[in-house]
Chain A
Amino acid sequence: MRLKRKDLLGIEDLTRDELELILSTAASFKEVSEREIKKVPTLRGKTVINLFYEPSTRTRTSFEIAAKRMSADAVNISVSTSSVVKGETLRDTARNLEAMRPDCIVVRHASSGTPHMLAGFVGCSVVNAGDGAHEHPSQALLDMLTVKEKKGTLAGLKIAIVGDIAHSRVARSNIYGFTKMGSEVTVAGPPTMLPAGIEKLGCKVTSNVEDALKGTDVIMMLRIQMERQSESFFPTVREYSRVYGLDETKLKRAKDDVIILHPGPINRGVEISSEVADGPYSLILDQVTNGVAVRMAIFYLLLGTAKEEQQIQAGKV
């Protein structure tokens, strides 16, 4: 079995079989990070460039660690210190990077569709590490892995995604992912943060959080993205926290064995109370651990096989 793709741009294009392949491969890779020598030689000689046009700690570090644990060389480009500030276009940056013969470019950008455009410019693999409010596929995969580990399956589970759905690429990727795997997804948030037509992705929509939480197996809280809000979507942070934030009272409406996810970084006391974030139902740190395994699996599946022409040379086709 292999992933017959050059790039990983979004969950929307992936089939259920492909999702299962990535998840099962990732589950096997967890073991590598538990070893004393946390490194395997599988991707020796491959080069991965992390091209981040937006700030990130978790995702960039996670991709970098994943590449290094697979023995690939990871190079980080942070845009604030690059030629982009001199006015270089994305296309020129991409072509210059490609001239250095990387095997994979991991890209994050504030504009939706950037990774797709980049994938058209370059011959190497492109992985979307978050594009605008569109998709964040590796985050959705690590969320699915975390839930699958705890619940055994994703089919038939009730998933509530709560918060700023309109600006959330995490929400979009997770709606695609969980619905493909047979879960029942409900999104909830202030009406100003529920985009029109989101139900077309196959989820239920409500602005009543308590309804969304009722009997749910998984709660995914989204971060209120202060940096993306040019206009106000709710009157005050305090009001948002009271109505939409997850605290121990609201948590009681969920199933007894509910699990709580958050893509981080968390705003303590805004979308999630500290007691809940640090409480027994929270898997926020498991998500981070699983993130490395998922990204190792992505690199293995995208870079671990021969390109067609190499196979022909080796006489295997």
Chain B
Amino acid sequence: MPMKKIVLDDKAIERALARVAHEIIERNKGTENLVILGIPTRGYHLALRLRKKIEEIEGVCLPVGAVDATLYRDDLGIKKDQPSLKRMEIPPVDGKKVVMVDDVLFTGRTIRAAMNALMDFGRPLAIQLAVLVDRGHRELPIKADYIGKNLPTSRKEGVKVHLSETDGVNEVVVTVAPAEGTKQ
């Protein structure tokens, strides 16, 4: 059993998401033309939560979709286990401002793959990125526009987001030995 430390609890996740929701509205001067796309599995649930928060603030229910980056990954040829395909559900994105949502931003490779996938579906006016946790160690020139929590980590550590929708509990944990299923 690796050492495990909770860095965000239920309340802290809610506060971070509420702030991100406000920032999205502020940066875009409202909600006009916005579409939220989550990267499955947990990014999609975070996208649904952000939609709810934005609706509470602005009274507008934004379209939410899921963009699965699996088929666009650059590590399929070197991974031992094959990732299973997830949900792909993209509302019209031509001329829209798309906010992509993921749980953890690490190397940036998933985001690169997700952007390529999205481009096959249309030409968004702009793509912005919202993440719950930015843990650093980027390998590509990618940065998030909205960050729930900046979490400086070492590469040996694992960062795992648990959400009630998928894991029955809301928390962000750091493990010392990389945990199974950790984003890397």
A interface residues with partner B (beta carbon < 8 Å): 1-3, 24-25, 28-29, 31-32, 35-37, 39-42, 300-301, 304-306, 310-311, 314, 316-317
Which residues of B have CB within 8 Å of A42? 71-72, 76
Q: Does A304 lie within 8 Å of B121, measured CB to CB?
A: no
Q: Does A316 lie within 8 Å of B71, measured CB to CB?
A: no
Bound state CA distance, A35 and B79, in angstroms?
A: 27
Q: Does B116 lie within 8 Å of A305, measured CB to CB?
A: no
Q: Does B80 lie within 8 Å of A316, measured CB to CB?
A: yes
B interface residues with partner A (beta carbon < 8 Å): 71-72, 76-82, 84-86, 88, 116-117, 120-121
Known: A28-B85, A306-B78; 14 extra A-B contacts, CB below 8 A, are: A2-B82, A25-B84, A28-B84, A28-B88, A32-B71, A36-B121, A40-B71, A41-B72, A305-B76, A305-B81, A306-B79, A306-B80, A311-B78, A314-B78
Q: Does A1 lie within 8 Å of B78, measured CB to CB?
A: no
Q: Does B77 lie within 8 Å of A305, measured CB to CB?
A: yes
Shortest CB distance A140–B (Å): 21
Contact of B82 among A301, A310, A314, A317 (CB under 8 A): A301
Shortest CB distance A20–B (Å): 11
Shortest CB distance B104–A (Å): 20
Which residues of A have CB within 8 Å of B81? 1-2, 305
Question: Is chain A's interface secondary structure helix, strand, loop, or mixed overall?
Answer: loop
Bound state CA distance, A316 and B81, in angstroms?
A: 10
Shortest CB distance A19–B (Å): 15
Q: Does B85 lie within 8 Å of A41, measured CB to CB?
A: no
Which residues of B have CB within 8 Å of A301? 82
Q: In the complex, which residue of chain B has the Cβ closest to the Cβ of A26?
A: B85
Given contacts A311-B78, A316-B78, contact A31 B88 (CB under 8 A): yes
Q: Does A39 lie within 8 Å of B120, measured CB to CB?
A: yes
Which residues of A have CB within 8 Å of B88? 28, 31
Contact of A40 among B72, B77, B78, B82 (CB under 8 A): B72
Q: In the complex, which residue of chain A has the Cβ closest to the Cβ of B81?
A: A2
Shortest CB distance A287–B (Å): 21
Bound state CA distance, A12 and B134, in angstroms?
A: 48
| 21 residue pairs from A and B, CB less than 8 Å apart | A2-B80, A3-B82, A24-B84, A28-B84, A28-B86, A28-B88, A29-B85, A31-B88, A32-B71, A39-B120, A40-B71, A40-B72, A40-B120, A42-B76, A305-B76, A305-B77, A305-B81, A306-B78, A311-B78, A314-B78, A316-B78
